[in-house]
Amino acid sequence: MLSFKEIFSGQKRLVGLDIGSNSLKLAEIISSSKGHYLNRFSEVPLPKGIIVDGVLADPASLSIKIREIFKHSGWGKKGVVTSIAGNSVIVKKVTLQQMNEAEFRELIHDEAGKYLPFDNMDDVNYDFQILGENNYNPNQMDIIIVAAKKEVVNSYLEAVTAAGQNVEIMDVAPFVLETLYEANYEFDNDEIVVIINIGASTTGINVIKGGMSIFTRDFSLGGNSITESLQEKYKTTFEEAEKMKIEGISNGSEGDNLDLKNSILEFAQPICLEIERSIDYFRSTFGGEDIKQILLAGGSAKVYNLVKHLSETLNVKTELINPFLKIGYNKRSIDVKNLESIKPVAATAIGLGLRKIGDK
Protein backbone atom coordinates (compact mmCIF):
# COMPACT_ATOMS: atom_id res chain seq x y z
CA MET A 1 0.00 0.00 0.00
CA LEU A 2 0.97 3.63 -0.45
CA SER A 3 2.08 5.95 2.32
CA PHE A 4 3.54 9.44 2.38
CA LYS A 5 5.59 9.26 5.51
CA GLU A 6 6.75 6.65 7.97
CA ILE A 7 8.40 7.67 11.21
CA PHE A 8 10.20 4.83 12.98
CA SER A 9 9.79 5.59 16.66
CA GLY A 10 9.88 2.08 18.07
CA GLN A 11 6.12 1.80 18.61
CA LYS A 12 5.04 -1.80 18.03
CA ARG A 13 1.28 -1.45 18.38
CA LEU A 14 -0.48 1.02 16.12
CA VAL A 15 -4.01 2.40 16.23
CA GLY A 16 -6.06 3.65 13.31
CA LEU A 17 -7.35 7.23 13.59
CA ASP A 18 -9.97 8.12 10.98
CA ILE A 19 -10.30 11.92 10.78
CA GLY A 20 -13.60 12.69 9.08
CA SER A 21 -15.41 15.98 8.64
CA ASN A 22 -18.16 14.97 11.11
CA SER A 23 -16.37 12.67 13.56
CA LEU A 24 -13.20 10.97 14.72
CA LYS A 25 -13.02 7.17 14.81
CA LEU A 26 -10.32 5.21 16.63
CA ALA A 27 -9.69 1.48 16.15
CA GLU A 28 -7.15 -0.85 17.73
CA ILE A 29 -6.48 -4.06 15.80
CA ILE A 30 -4.66 -6.95 17.47
CA SER A 31 -2.87 -9.25 15.03
CA SER A 32 -1.48 -12.72 15.71
CA SER A 33 -0.81 -15.98 13.89
CA LYS A 34 -4.54 -16.73 14.26
CA GLY A 35 -5.58 -13.56 12.42
CA HIS A 36 -6.85 -10.09 13.33
CA TYR A 37 -9.47 -8.82 15.75
CA LEU A 38 -10.83 -5.41 16.68
CA ASN A 39 -9.92 -4.88 20.31
CA ARG A 40 -11.45 -1.43 20.86
CA PHE A 41 -13.39 1.10 18.82
CA SER A 42 -14.36 4.67 19.77
CA GLU A 43 -16.07 7.55 18.00
CA VAL A 44 -16.52 11.21 18.97
CA PRO A 45 -18.30 13.92 16.94
CA LEU A 46 -16.39 16.80 15.36
CA PRO A 47 -17.88 20.31 15.24
CA LYS A 48 -18.49 21.67 11.75
CA GLY A 49 -15.68 23.64 10.15
CA ILE A 50 -12.68 21.75 11.52
CA ILE A 51 -12.26 19.73 8.30
CA VAL A 52 -13.46 21.28 5.04
CA ASP A 53 -13.17 19.19 1.83
CA GLY A 54 -10.29 17.23 3.31
CA VAL A 55 -8.39 20.36 4.36
CA LEU A 56 -7.69 20.98 8.04
CA ALA A 57 -9.12 24.43 8.77
CA ASP A 58 -8.85 24.43 12.59
CA PRO A 59 -5.81 22.43 13.83
CA ALA A 60 -6.16 23.52 17.49
CA SER A 61 -9.74 22.25 17.73
CA LEU A 62 -8.79 18.98 16.07
CA SER A 63 -6.00 18.45 18.61
CA ILE A 64 -8.50 18.94 21.44
CA LYS A 65 -10.87 16.33 19.96
CA ILE A 66 -8.01 13.87 19.39
CA ARG A 67 -7.05 14.18 23.06
CA GLU A 68 -10.70 13.60 23.93
CA ILE A 69 -11.05 10.38 21.92
CA PHE A 70 -7.83 8.93 23.34
CA LYS A 71 -8.95 9.79 26.87
CA HIS A 72 -12.38 8.29 26.18
CA SER A 73 -10.69 5.10 24.93
CA GLY A 74 -8.49 4.87 28.01
CA TRP A 75 -5.28 4.90 25.99
CA GLY A 76 -2.06 6.70 26.66
CA LYS A 77 0.51 7.41 23.96
CA LYS A 78 0.15 5.26 20.85
CA GLY A 79 1.60 5.01 17.39
CA VAL A 80 -1.06 6.49 15.10
CA VAL A 81 -1.94 5.56 11.54
CA THR A 82 -4.13 8.17 9.88
CA SER A 83 -4.96 9.37 6.38
CA ILE A 84 -5.90 12.36 4.27
CA ALA A 85 -8.62 12.48 1.63
CA GLY A 86 -10.62 14.65 -0.70
CA ASN A 87 -9.31 17.35 -3.00
CA SER A 88 -6.08 17.65 -1.02
CA VAL A 89 -4.84 14.37 -2.53
CA ILE A 90 -3.97 13.71 -6.17
CA VAL A 91 -4.13 10.09 -7.33
CA LYS A 92 -3.11 9.45 -10.94
CA LYS A 93 -2.43 6.37 -13.03
CA VAL A 94 0.29 6.71 -15.70
CA THR A 95 1.84 4.36 -18.26
CA LEU A 96 5.59 4.63 -18.91
CA GLN A 97 8.49 2.71 -20.40
CA GLN A 98 9.91 0.02 -18.13
CA MET A 99 12.34 1.37 -15.51
CA ASN A 100 13.28 0.66 -11.90
CA GLU A 101 11.84 2.49 -8.87
CA ALA A 102 14.86 4.77 -8.40
CA GLU A 103 14.73 5.89 -12.02
CA PHE A 104 11.01 6.54 -11.84
CA ARG A 105 11.29 8.55 -8.62
CA GLU A 106 13.92 10.75 -10.22
CA LEU A 107 11.75 11.16 -13.33
CA ILE A 108 8.73 12.27 -11.28
CA HIS A 109 10.80 14.77 -9.31
CA ASP A 110 12.40 16.30 -12.40
CA GLU A 111 9.37 16.26 -14.72
CA ALA A 112 6.48 16.62 -12.27
CA GLY A 113 4.51 18.98 -14.50
CA LYS A 114 3.93 16.20 -17.03
CA TYR A 115 2.14 14.01 -14.49
CA LEU A 116 0.94 16.13 -11.57
CA PRO A 117 -0.50 19.66 -11.15
CA PHE A 118 2.49 20.90 -9.12
CA ASP A 119 5.27 23.22 -10.27
CA ASN A 120 7.80 22.24 -7.62
CA MET A 121 7.96 18.71 -6.21
CA ASP A 122 10.04 19.99 -3.28
CA ASP A 123 6.72 21.31 -1.88
CA VAL A 124 5.01 17.94 -2.28
CA ASN A 125 4.88 14.60 -0.45
CA TYR A 126 4.49 11.85 -3.01
CA ASP A 127 4.76 8.12 -3.40
CA PHE A 128 3.95 5.58 -6.07
CA GLN A 129 3.26 1.93 -6.64
CA ILE A 130 4.19 -0.01 -9.77
CA LEU A 131 1.14 -2.03 -10.77
CA GLY A 132 2.93 -4.16 -13.36
CA GLU A 133 3.13 -4.53 -17.11
CA ASN A 134 0.61 -2.68 -19.23
CA ASN A 135 -2.05 -5.08 -20.55
CA TYR A 136 -1.60 -3.87 -24.12
CA ASN A 137 2.14 -3.19 -24.24
CA PRO A 138 4.56 -5.43 -22.29
CA ASN A 139 7.35 -2.88 -22.84
CA GLN A 140 5.48 -0.39 -20.67
CA MET A 141 4.35 -0.43 -17.04
CA ASP A 142 1.32 0.98 -15.22
CA ILE A 143 2.00 3.10 -12.15
CA ILE A 144 -0.21 4.75 -9.53
CA ILE A 145 1.14 8.10 -8.25
CA VAL A 146 -0.18 9.71 -5.05
CA ALA A 147 0.73 13.26 -4.06
CA ALA A 148 -0.29 16.04 -1.67
CA LYS A 149 1.20 19.36 -0.71
CA LYS A 150 3.49 19.16 2.29
CA GLU A 151 1.61 21.96 4.04
CA VAL A 152 -1.59 19.88 3.97
CA VAL A 153 0.13 16.70 5.20
CA ASN A 154 2.07 18.60 7.87
CA SER A 155 -1.07 20.29 9.22
CA TYR A 156 -2.48 16.86 10.12
CA LEU A 157 0.84 15.59 11.48
CA GLU A 158 1.19 18.67 13.69
CA ALA A 159 -2.38 18.44 14.99
CA VAL A 160 -1.88 14.81 16.04
CA THR A 161 1.49 15.61 17.59
CA ALA A 162 0.00 18.56 19.51
CA ALA A 163 -2.52 16.07 20.96
CA GLY A 164 0.37 14.08 22.42
CA GLN A 165 0.47 11.26 19.85
CA ASN A 166 2.98 10.13 17.22
CA VAL A 167 2.01 9.63 13.58
CA GLU A 168 3.75 6.48 12.36
CA ILE A 169 2.09 6.22 8.93
CA MET A 170 0.20 8.79 6.87
CA ASP A 171 -1.95 6.97 4.31
CA VAL A 172 -4.42 8.14 1.66
CA ALA A 173 -8.11 7.33 2.00
CA PRO A 174 -8.80 5.23 -1.15
CA PHE A 175 -6.05 2.75 -0.30
CA VAL A 176 -7.13 2.35 3.33
CA LEU A 177 -10.31 0.54 2.30
CA GLU A 178 -8.23 -1.52 -0.12
CA THR A 179 -6.30 -2.80 2.92
CA LEU A 180 -9.58 -3.67 4.64
CA TYR A 181 -10.88 -5.43 1.51
CA GLU A 182 -7.74 -7.55 1.17
CA ALA A 183 -8.00 -8.64 4.82
CA ASN A 184 -11.64 -9.74 4.57
CA TYR A 185 -12.60 -10.78 1.05
CA GLU A 186 -11.63 -13.58 -1.30
CA PHE A 187 -10.89 -12.46 -4.86
CA ASP A 188 -9.39 -13.62 -8.15
CA ASN A 189 -6.77 -11.67 -10.09
CA ASP A 190 -9.22 -10.66 -12.81
CA GLU A 191 -12.13 -9.69 -10.53
CA ILE A 192 -13.15 -6.04 -10.34
CA VAL A 193 -14.77 -4.59 -7.22
CA VAL A 194 -15.72 -0.96 -6.58
CA ILE A 195 -15.47 0.43 -3.03
CA ILE A 196 -17.41 3.66 -2.49
CA ASN A 197 -16.76 5.59 0.72
CA ILE A 198 -19.64 8.01 1.30
CA GLY A 199 -18.66 10.42 4.06
CA ALA A 200 -20.31 13.51 5.45
CA SER A 201 -18.94 15.94 2.87
CA THR A 202 -16.99 13.88 0.31
CA THR A 203 -17.41 10.62 -1.58
CA GLY A 204 -14.44 8.52 -2.65
CA ILE A 205 -14.53 5.82 -5.34
CA ASN A 206 -11.84 3.16 -5.65
CA VAL A 207 -11.95 0.50 -8.37
CA ILE A 208 -9.91 -2.57 -7.45
CA LYS A 209 -8.80 -5.37 -9.76
CA GLY A 210 -7.23 -8.44 -8.22
CA GLY A 211 -6.89 -6.60 -4.91
CA MET A 212 -5.05 -3.62 -6.47
CA SER A 213 -6.38 -0.13 -7.22
CA ILE A 214 -6.72 0.75 -10.91
CA PHE A 215 -8.99 3.84 -10.76
CA THR A 216 -9.91 6.41 -8.11
CA ARG A 217 -12.07 9.51 -7.96
CA ASP A 218 -13.25 11.86 -5.18
CA PHE A 219 -16.04 14.41 -5.36
CA SER A 220 -17.27 16.99 -2.85
CA LEU A 221 -20.71 15.61 -2.06
CA GLY A 222 -21.69 13.52 0.94
CA GLY A 223 -24.38 12.66 3.41
CA ASN A 224 -24.55 16.13 4.97
CA SER A 225 -26.19 17.43 1.79
CA ILE A 226 -29.07 14.98 2.33
CA THR A 227 -29.33 15.77 6.04
CA GLU A 228 -29.38 19.53 5.46
CA SER A 229 -32.07 19.21 2.78
CA LEU A 230 -34.23 17.09 5.12
CA GLN A 231 -33.61 19.55 7.95
CA GLU A 232 -34.84 22.42 5.80
CA LYS A 233 -37.86 20.60 4.38
CA TYR A 234 -39.11 19.18 7.68
CA LYS A 235 -38.05 22.13 9.88
CA THR A 236 -36.19 19.92 12.34
CA THR A 237 -32.78 19.70 13.99
CA PHE A 238 -29.69 18.41 12.21
CA GLU A 239 -29.54 15.46 14.63
CA GLU A 240 -33.17 14.49 13.99
CA ALA A 241 -32.68 14.83 10.23
CA GLU A 242 -29.65 12.53 10.48
CA LYS A 243 -31.82 9.91 12.18
CA MET A 244 -34.58 10.31 9.58
CA LYS A 245 -32.02 9.93 6.78
CA ILE A 246 -30.92 6.52 8.07
CA GLU A 247 -34.19 5.10 9.33
CA GLY A 248 -36.62 6.51 6.75
CA ILE A 249 -39.17 7.13 9.49
CA SER A 250 -40.73 10.37 10.69
CA ASN A 251 -43.01 11.03 13.65
CA GLY A 252 -46.01 11.48 11.34
CA SER A 253 -48.48 9.22 9.56
CA GLU A 254 -47.79 6.44 7.07
CA GLY A 255 -48.28 9.00 4.30
CA ASP A 256 -45.69 11.24 5.92
CA ASN A 257 -43.24 8.34 6.07
CA LEU A 258 -43.76 7.63 2.37
CA ASP A 259 -43.11 11.30 1.60
CA LEU A 260 -39.93 11.15 3.69
CA LYS A 261 -38.63 8.07 1.89
CA ASN A 262 -39.24 9.74 -1.48
CA SER A 263 -37.49 12.87 -0.24
CA ILE A 264 -34.44 10.93 0.94
CA LEU A 265 -34.07 9.36 -2.49
CA GLU A 266 -34.58 12.72 -4.18
CA PHE A 267 -31.94 14.44 -2.04
CA ALA A 268 -29.52 11.51 -2.55
CA GLN A 269 -29.79 11.76 -6.34
CA PRO A 270 -26.86 14.18 -6.85
CA ILE A 271 -24.55 11.72 -5.08
CA CYS A 272 -25.99 8.75 -6.99
CA LEU A 273 -25.60 10.55 -10.33
CA GLU A 274 -21.94 11.35 -9.64
CA ILE A 275 -21.33 7.71 -8.70
CA GLU A 276 -23.07 6.59 -11.90
CA ARG A 277 -20.97 9.01 -14.00
CA SER A 278 -17.79 7.69 -12.37
CA ILE A 279 -18.72 4.07 -13.04
CA ASP A 280 -19.65 4.90 -16.66
CA TYR A 281 -16.34 6.72 -17.14
CA PHE A 282 -14.41 3.76 -15.72
CA ARG A 283 -16.24 1.32 -17.97
CA SER A 284 -15.61 3.42 -21.08
CA THR A 285 -11.96 4.06 -20.24
CA PHE A 286 -11.08 0.52 -19.22
CA GLY A 287 -12.81 -1.31 -22.06
CA GLY A 288 -16.13 -2.00 -20.36
CA GLU A 289 -14.72 -4.59 -17.95
CA ASP A 290 -17.32 -6.39 -15.85
CA ILE A 291 -17.76 -5.21 -12.25
CA LYS A 292 -18.39 -8.09 -9.87
CA GLN A 293 -19.58 -6.09 -6.85
CA ILE A 294 -19.92 -2.65 -5.29
CA LEU A 295 -19.18 -2.22 -1.57
CA LEU A 296 -20.35 0.88 0.30
CA ALA A 297 -18.48 2.28 3.31
CA GLY A 298 -18.73 5.42 5.43
CA GLY A 299 -21.45 6.73 7.72
CA SER A 300 -23.64 7.87 4.83
CA ALA A 301 -23.57 4.43 3.21
CA LYS A 302 -26.41 3.65 5.61
CA VAL A 303 -28.78 6.19 4.01
CA TYR A 304 -32.22 4.61 3.80
CA ASN A 305 -32.66 2.41 0.69
CA LEU A 306 -29.40 3.67 -0.87
CA VAL A 307 -27.90 0.19 -1.31
CA LYS A 308 -30.99 -1.07 -3.13
CA HIS A 309 -31.23 2.04 -5.31
CA LEU A 310 -27.59 1.91 -6.44
CA SER A 311 -27.79 -1.83 -7.09
CA GLU A 312 -30.79 -1.34 -9.38
CA THR A 313 -29.43 1.80 -11.08
CA LEU A 314 -25.95 0.43 -11.79
CA ASN A 315 -27.12 -3.16 -12.36
CA VAL A 316 -24.35 -4.44 -10.10
CA LYS A 317 -24.65 -6.35 -6.83
CA THR A 318 -24.27 -3.70 -4.10
CA GLU A 319 -23.97 -4.12 -0.34
CA LEU A 320 -22.44 -2.52 2.75
CA ILE A 321 -18.81 -3.41 3.31
CA ASN A 322 -18.27 -5.92 6.10
CA PRO A 323 -15.04 -5.45 8.10
CA PHE A 324 -15.83 -8.57 10.15
CA LEU A 325 -15.90 -11.30 7.50
CA LYS A 326 -12.48 -12.49 8.67
CA ILE A 327 -11.65 -9.96 11.40
CA GLY A 328 -12.95 -10.80 14.85
CA TYR A 329 -13.84 -8.43 17.68
CA ASN A 330 -13.49 -8.21 21.44
CA LYS A 331 -16.92 -9.07 22.86
CA ARG A 332 -15.99 -7.53 26.22
CA SER A 333 -15.40 -4.07 24.80
CA ILE A 334 -17.70 -4.07 21.74
CA ASP A 335 -21.43 -4.67 22.11
CA VAL A 336 -22.59 -7.23 19.55
CA LYS A 337 -25.89 -5.30 19.27
CA ASN A 338 -23.97 -2.34 17.82
CA LEU A 339 -21.86 -4.42 15.44
CA GLU A 340 -24.19 -4.11 12.44
CA SER A 341 -24.47 -0.34 12.75
CA ILE A 342 -20.71 0.27 13.03
CA LYS A 343 -19.67 -1.88 10.03
CA PRO A 344 -19.54 0.89 7.39
CA VAL A 345 -18.73 3.60 9.96
CA ALA A 346 -15.69 1.81 11.38
CA ALA A 347 -14.37 0.52 8.04
CA THR A 348 -11.74 3.21 7.46
CA ALA A 349 -10.49 3.20 11.06
CA ILE A 350 -10.15 -0.61 10.95
CA GLY A 351 -8.34 -0.39 7.61
CA LEU A 352 -5.91 2.07 9.15
CA GLY A 353 -5.48 -0.13 12.21
CA LEU A 354 -4.44 -3.04 9.99
CA ARG A 355 -1.39 -1.16 8.70
CA LYS A 356 2.09 -2.10 9.87
CA ILE A 357 5.34 -0.16 9.73
CA GLY A 358 7.19 -1.16 6.58
CA ASP A 359 4.03 -1.86 4.53
CA LYS A 360 4.10 -0.70 0.93
- The distance from CA 334 to its chain's CA centroid, rounded to whole angstroms, is 22
Residues 94-120 have pLDDT tens digits of: 888 888 888 888 887 777 667 778 777
Element containing residue 295 per DSSP (H, E)? strand 293-297
Q: How far apart are CA 28 and CA 255, in angstroms?
A: 44
**Which residues lie closer than 8 Å to 197 by C-beta, 6 or more apart?**
173, 174, 177, 203, 204, 205, 206, 296, 297, 298, 301, 347, 348
pLDDT band at 141 (very low <50, low <70, confident <90, very high): confident
* Higher-scoring residue by pLDDT: 358, 146: 146
**219 beta partners:** 203
pLDDT score for 84? 87
Q: What is the pLDDT of residue 7?
A: 34
Q: State yes or no: pLDDT of 140 exceeds 50.
A: yes
Q: What is the pLDDT of residues 77-93, one digit of tens each?
A: 889 999 987 777 888 88
CB 134 within 8 A of CB 141: yes
Which domains are present in the chain? 1-89+148-185+325-360 (3.30.420.40), 187-321 (3.30.420.40)
DSSP secondary structure string, 116-167?
A: SS-S-GGGEEEEEEEEEE-SS-TTEEEEEEEEEEHHHHHHHHHHHHHTT-EE
Which letter, b or e, does each residue of 206-234 get, where b requires 16 or more Cβ atoms within 10 Å of its Cβ?
bbbbeebbbbbbbbebbbbbbbebbbeeb
The 10s digit of each residue's pLDDT in 181-213 is 999 999 888 899 999 999 999 999 999 988 888
Pairing of strands 79-84, 14-19: parallel
- pLDDT confidence tier of residue 39, bands split at 50, 70 and 90: very high
Q: Which pairs from 64-67 meet CB under 8 Å and 24+ separation?
A: 64/163, 65/24, 66/17, 66/24, 66/159, 66/160, 66/163, 66/165, 67/163, 67/164
* The pTM of the whole model exceeds 0.85: yes
Alpha carbon separation from 52 to 86, 187, 196, 349 (Å, rounded):
9, 35, 20, 19
The percent of residues in the chain predicted with pLDDT above 70, rounded, is 94
Tell me: the pLDDT tens digits for 239-259?
Answer: 999 999 999 987 766 677 899
Query: By mean pLDDT, which of 16-20, 75-79, 227-231, 257-261 is the weakest?
Result: 75-79
Distance, in Å, from the CA atom of 192 to the CA atom of 39, rounded to the nearest integer, reads 31
**How many CA atoms are closer than 13 Å to the CA of 181, on its beta-carbon side?**
30
The pLDDT tens digits of the residues spanning 325-348 come to 999 999 888 887 778 888 999 999
Does the pLDDT at position 9 exceed 60? no
Cα 285 to Cα 233: distance, rounded to the nearest angstrom: 39
